[in-house]
A and B are shown apart, each in its own frame.
Chain A
Amino acid sequence: RKEVEQDPGPFNVPEGATVAFNCTYSNSASQSFFWYRQDCRKEPKLLMSVYSSGNEDGRFTAQLNRASQYISLLIRDSKLSDSATYLCVVTPWNQGGKLIFGQGTELSVKP
């Protein structure tokens, strides 16, 4: 089983839709969680950190469920510019700083 797994998609949604991505992780000792965004052939960029209590940044909401070992990203009112690949990242507590990436979920927002 991979350490971090995501639904690869692609998710094809119309503008204005709400879309949610899930990411599961296998190491229960994981300590830090992030969502990154990657545009085609570019480097990944931090979208948001994920905090235990859940957090929101504009149209984006991130949630963490430690009991079930998953994190989620909700995008409301999708824009064309949200089209990208979304990467889930997990830092295991007991692996000295390694950050493990999921394989990414592709989102395509259509007019």
Chain B
Amino acid sequence: NAGVTQTPKFQVLKTGQSMTLQCAQDMNHEYMSWYRQDPGMGLRLIHYSVGAGITDQGEVPNGYNVSRSTTEDFPLRLLSAAPSQTSVYFCASSYSRQGGSPLHFGNGTRLTVT
């Protein structure tokens, strides 16, 4: 069981570039989510999904897109990278679509936008 797998681990982008952060889980979890973590801000929810074909916005969705075509995968797309998107990104999944079960996190992606 790999759990939650995020790629890449590190990425450097120039302003205006686009990219996709990959997230996959092999636990058949319905709930998947993306967070960003900045110093002093804690983890902030970007987007989440309660099942294949269903996505919704979190606290800080602007500048990011997601899709959930399968139960396993939940990619996060940066449309036009900005320095304000420099952060550590975590993907997480859980069994319960109602949020009543704990989250399993990936190892994180450290993104720098110059």
Residues of A within 8 A of B (CB): 8, 31-32, 34, 36, 41-46, 49, 87, 89, 91-92, 95-104
Q: Mark B26-61, 1 if CB is under 8 A from A, else 0.
A: 000001010100001111110010100000101100
Residue contact A32 to B43, C-beta cutoff 8 Å = no
9 A–B contacts, CB within 8 A, in A order: A41-B88, A43-B90, A89-B103, A96-B99, A97-B50, A98-B33, A99-B45, A101-B45, A102-B42
Bound Cα distance A89, B43 (Å):
10
Chain B hits for A97, CB < 8 A: 31, 48, 50, 96-99
Chain A hits for B94, CB < 8 A: 99
Chain B residue nearest to A4 (CB atoms) is B42
Total number of A-B contacts with CB less than 8 angstroms? 67
- Taking the complex as formed, is B107 at the interface, i.e. its CB lies under 8 A from any CB of chain A? yes
A34 with B105, Cβ < 8 A, contacts A96-B50, A97-B97, A103-B41 known: no
Chain A hits for B96, CB < 8 A: 97
